[in-house]
């Protein structure tokens, strides 16, 4: 596919993903104001199902990365096997993803009659949360690149299942996406993250992505032929 068409797919897909994650968080606040566990269930269910649909929709165009960490892992893999994203394509993908996440956050806020431009106030940085983000991003990259070998339908189902479970089993709530983290910074809602917490979360996500990519390289690289 031409790079321009892939960029549009990454922008639109990431924007819709931001609407799904943030919008379902705002809706959960309104539907279940006194029950944190139910709000998390509502948000995680919508996020998992939304991601599966987006992978099936945009996967044939751009691969449905929708996440700078995934694109970085794809670029790094290409340096080893002469495939994956080119350096130019990596830059275009990341720009499309960040702009899409910002657009999606503004749309989600406006859809619920809130001010489009907001700044989240929920501080999230603790040692445990950062460990959770490293694990969440590592698992996301490892699962994504492992199951991609089995077809897009399997990939969509596995990624949805992983995201839905990781929102529950990680202490951080499994942001695992620098672009979406920036978008969530712009919505003072259940899924928001304070600007002061964003740099540490993004650093943890990149570290986790590198760890997940290294694990996949170790597990799936061709074995050396016995001498």
Q: Is the pLDDT of residue 54 over 50?
A: yes
State the total domains in the chain: 1
DSSP state of 191: T
CATH number of the domain to which 23 belongs: 1.20.1080.10
Domain annotation covers residue 226: no
Domain annotation covers residue 166: yes
Domain annotation covers residue 15: yes
Residue 5 CB neighbours (<10 A): 11
The residue-averaged pLDDT of 102-131 equals: 96
Domain annotation covers residue 51: yes
Res. 78 pLDDT band, cuts 50 70 90:
confident
Separation between Cα atoms, residue 181 and residue 192, nearest integer Å? 8
Q: Is the pLDDT of residue 187 over 80?
A: yes
Between the CA of residue 47 and those of 54, 125, 149, 168, 173, what are the distances in Å? 10, 22, 23, 12, 12
Tell me the CB-side half-sphere exposure of residue 206, using CA atoms within 13 A: 11
The parent domain of residue 133 ranges over 3-220
pLDDT at 222 (0 to 100): 63
The residue-averaged pLDDT of 195-220 equals: 95
Q: Is the pLDDT of residue 226 over 70?
A: no
């Amino acid at each position: 596919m031409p790079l321009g068409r892939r960029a549009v797919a990454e922008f639109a897909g990431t924007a819709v993903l931001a609407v799904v994650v943030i919008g379902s968080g705002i809706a959960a606040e309104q539907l279940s104001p006194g029950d944190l566990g139910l709000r998390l269930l509502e948000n995680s269910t919508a996020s998992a199902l939304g991601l599966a649909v987006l992978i099936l929709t945009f996967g044939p165009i751009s691969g449905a990365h929708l996440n700078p960490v995934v694109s970085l892992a794809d670029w790094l893999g290409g340096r080893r096997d002469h495939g994956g994203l080119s350096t130019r394509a990596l830059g275009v993908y990341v720009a499309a993803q960040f702009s899409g996440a910002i657009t999606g956050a503004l749309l989600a806020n406006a859809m619920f009659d809130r001010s489009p431009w907001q700044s989240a106030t929920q501080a999230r940085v603790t040692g445990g949360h950062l460990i959770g983000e490293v694990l969440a991003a590592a698992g996301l990259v490892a699962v994504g690149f492992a199951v991609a070998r089995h077809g897009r339908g399997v990939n969509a189902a596995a990624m949805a299942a992983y995201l839905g479970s990781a929102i529950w089993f990680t202490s951080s709530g499994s942001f695992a996406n620098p672009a979406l983290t920036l978008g969530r910074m712009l919505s003072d809602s259940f899924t928001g993250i304070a600007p002061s917490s964003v740099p540490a979360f993004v650093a943890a996500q990149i570290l986790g992505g590198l760890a997940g990519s290294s694990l996949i390289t170790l597990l799936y690289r061709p074995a050396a032929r016995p001498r």
